[in-house]
């Protein structure tokens, strides 16, 4: 009883006055584990962010949780991109590449990782397309401030490309920077080169975080449940969050496959390429195990976030179905 009252007290006063009795009865039925309590606490955060607008509490709860689930999977996917690119940079030009031609298990692990990346990308693009159209429509018609937020990913990408061109110009000898060599080796890797490449990675990561935050804010501000689209001359009504949720699940399971493939890849290379795996061949010539471990840790956290989002969405759908 005390826990239920405390959880309800996390919500805004106006929300409690409108939904408090119904919500307390619901908690009495459904509050069974610490994860349920965490889910309720996150719902309080949603309410304080102003995401509760109109409708019955149960219908609002389902739409809101589906939106949050999709956003969590999207954020997790961005984290996976960062980890995947870090892993690719580690493996590129390593002895693991030629070994894949003769080691079947290593080849299967690496190609499973690549296949999972393609499937996750397709799921995110196809699932997010209707939402993107809704966001752009509303930004152009009534939410002009969101146009500035939508520019954040484009600006972040442009800055990253310009920095990449700077690195390329140095590598080709077109531009000379003090303390930076056009080519490096494991024996000659100056601090200037480390800083230049480290800046390249930092800009990508910061741009990814800024873009994710901007997209998160735009979707939080976007009122999107049912939307009408014209396809092949016919009007089609789509529940954009319900449409995107199964594809978000596909992306999350693809992350799980990629995580398993990364674990297999690390286990195989540790046993077949011990000198490389335990050497200093990681990013910026750091320890290989450290670079691999960092990528793996990001993948684990990202996968956990994605599946937590799916769990929230599924719980909302079950509650809506039980009330129907």
Q: 1 with 28: CB under 8 angstroms?
A: no
What is the residue extent of each domain of the chain?
A: 1-52
pLDDT tens-digit map of 196-223 = 888 888 998 899 889 888 887 777 766 6
Q: Can you give the three-state secondary structure of 14-60, one letter per residue?
A: HHHHHHHHHHHHHHHHHCCCHHHHHHHHHHHHHHHCCCCCCCCHHHH
What does pTM read for this prediction?
0.78
pLDDT tens-digit map of 243-278 = 888 999 999 999 999 999 999 999 999 999 999 999
């Amino acid at each position: 009883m005390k826990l239920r009252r405390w959880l309800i007290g996390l919500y805004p006063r106006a929300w409690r006055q409108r939904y408090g009795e119904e919500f307390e009865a619901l908690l009495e039925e459904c509050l069974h584990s610490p994860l349920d309590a965490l889910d309720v606490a996150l719902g309080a955060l949603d309410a304080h962010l102003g995401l509760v607008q109109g409708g019955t509490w149960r219908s609002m709860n389902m739409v809101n949780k589906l939106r949050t689930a999709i956003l969590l999977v999207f954020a997790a996917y961005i984290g996976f991109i960062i980890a995947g690119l870090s892993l690719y940079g580690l493996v590129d030009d390593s002895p693991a590449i030629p070994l894949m031609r003769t080691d079947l298990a290593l080849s299967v692990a690496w190609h499973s990782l690549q296949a999972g990346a393609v499937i996750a990308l397709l799921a995110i693009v196809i699932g997010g397309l209707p939402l993107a159209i809704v966001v752009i429509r509303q930004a152009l018609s009534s939410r002009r401030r969101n146009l500035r937020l939508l520019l954040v990913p484009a600006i972040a990408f442009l800055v990253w490309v310009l920095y990449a061109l700077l690195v390329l110009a140095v590598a080709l000898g077109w531009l000379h920077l003090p303390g930076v060599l056009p080519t490096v080796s494991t024996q000659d890797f100056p601090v200037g080169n480390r800083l230049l490449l480290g800046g390249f990675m930092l800009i990508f990561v910061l741009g990814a975080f800024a873009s994710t935050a901007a997209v998160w804010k735009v979707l939080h501000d976007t009122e999107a449940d049912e939307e009408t689209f014209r396809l092949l001359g016919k009007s089609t009504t789509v529940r954009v969050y319900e449409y995107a949720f199964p594809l978000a699940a596909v992306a999350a399971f693809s992350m799980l496959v990629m995580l398993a493939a990364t674990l297999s890849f690390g286990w195989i290379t540790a046993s077949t390429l011990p000198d490389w795996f335990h050497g200093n061949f990681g990013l910026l010539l750091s320890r290989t195990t450290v670079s691999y471990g960092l990528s793996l840790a990001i993948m684990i956290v990202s996968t956990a976030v994605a599946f937590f989002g799916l769990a929230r969405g599924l719980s909302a759908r079950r509650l809506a179905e039980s009330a129907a």
